[in-house]
């Protein structure tokens, strides 16, 4: 039986993931990087090694089309025994993922002080959405603050995650009503 935990969502953000109801989200005024509050995502149950949740939002790509976009943010962690992975994804036509970085090779673990990270992705002219957030897998606590976006030059290398190779040129879902008959 899953136990629902406290959800104090920051305005404009929502939770998703494998089991977001098992994670506690709140605004924290005792540990902000700057200003008066930051987001805090935690899970104290050590039995949930395969569980994960993401605090996220999405936005229209219009002001970033045909440009390289950098998302910068600050993260602090405490006893992150699974993984902490900030992420950004750019969706194209039919909402197929065209670029993605979830810091799969740069996951944050353990206890860390406030550290600034960035993700850099290209936003093609036919992009339809940019989604972004931070994931917590397993148990531990993370704080997330001061997310910002900036258009950068092509000399700045993209951070497209190696594990996102499957997303590049991915197929569009087809025959969802099963009316096209058998394969071949």
Based on its alpha-carbon atoms, the radius of gyration of the chain, rounded to whole angstroms, reads: 18
Domain spans of the chain, in order of start:
14-167
* Per-residue model confidence as pLDDT tens for the chain (184 residues): 344 456 778 889 999 988 888 899 999 999 899 989 999 999 877 656 678 899 999 999 999 999 999 999 999 999 998 889 999 999 998 878 889 999 888 889 999 999 999 999 999 999 999 999 999 998 899 999 999 999 999 999 999 876 554 344 444 455 455 556 555 5
Measured over the CA atoms of residue 116, residue 80, residue 51 and residue 104, the dihedral's sign is positive
> Which CATH architecture fits 14-167?
Sandwich (2.60)
Q: Would you state the pLDDT for residue 165?
A: 44
Considering the entire predicted model, what is its pTM? 0.83
């Amino acid at each position: 039986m899953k136990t629902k935990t406290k959800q104090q969502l920051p305005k404009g953000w929502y939770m998703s993931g494998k089991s977001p109801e098992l994670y506690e989200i709140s605004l924290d005024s005792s540990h902000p990087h700057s200003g008066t509050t930051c987001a805090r995502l935690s899970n104290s149950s050590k039995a949930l090694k395969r569980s994960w949740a993401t605090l996220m939002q999405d936005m229209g790509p219009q002001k970033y089309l045909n440009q390289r976009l950098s998302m910068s943010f600050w993260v602090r962690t405490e006893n992150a025994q699974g993984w902490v992975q900030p992420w950004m994804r750019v969706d194209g036509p039919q909402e197929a993922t065209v670029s993605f970085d979830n810091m799969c090779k740069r996951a944050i673990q353990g206890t860390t002080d406030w550290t600034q990270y960035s993700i850099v992705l290209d936003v093609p002219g036919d992009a339809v959405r940019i989604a972004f957030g931070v994931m917590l897998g397993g148990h531990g606590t993370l704080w997330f603050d001061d997310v910002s976006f900036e258009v950068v030059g092509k000399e700045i290398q993209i951070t497209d995650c190696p594990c996102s190779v499957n997303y590049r040129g991915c197929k569009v879902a087809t025959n969802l009503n099963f009316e096209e008959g058998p394969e071949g």
